[in-house]
Amino acid sequence: MATKKESLEQLRSVPMFSACSAKDLEKILKVGDELTAGAGKVVIDQGQTGREALVLISGAATVRRNGKKVASIGPGAVVGELALFDHGPRTATVVCDTECQFLAINQREFLGLLEQVPALNRRMLEYLAGKIRDFDRQSFG
């Protein structure tokens, strides 16, 4: 994994965390767990219960829904973020195209983090609203 300074800069580049201070980013790093997965590894499986979100730190991955490719993602992408709010089924499958490093943030730790980092509450709402708007534009024009 990258140095602490590099990790902080990587998190700062993630839209979901870009409004956070350096101190807040350190808290996010502290609650996250490093995860490395090799090429071909399924890190999120559609239909399975979600318990954490993954921030892609390095590498490339493909997102598929019902077997159809819907996105290629790289560093800074966040997948599985709905699991931070409920334990519903995953809406897509994410497969690593290359070796990938992720920061995994589980729901319990994240909810505690929201209490500690007020800026993250608003940023998450803005981020999720943006994703809904993007989906709406793609689906309905």
Q: Which tens digits make up the pLDDT trace of 90-137?
A: 999 999 999 999 999 999 999 998 888 887 888 888 888 888 898 889
* Domains identified in the chain and CATH numbers: 4-135 (2.60.120.10)
Question: How many residues belong to the chain?
Answer: 141
Report the C-alpha gap between 48 and 73 in whole angstroms: 20
Least Cα distance to 62 among 75, 71, 53 occurs for 71
Query: Average pLDDT over the chain, rounded to whole?
Result: 90
Stated pTM of the model: 0.88
Residue range 26-36, pLDDT digits in tens = 999 999 999 99
Contact, 55 vs 14, CB < 8 A? yes
- Residues above pLDDT 70, as percent of the chain: 99
Closest CA to 41 of 57, 61, 56, 58: 61
Hey, which residues does 63 pair with through a beta bridge? 71, 94
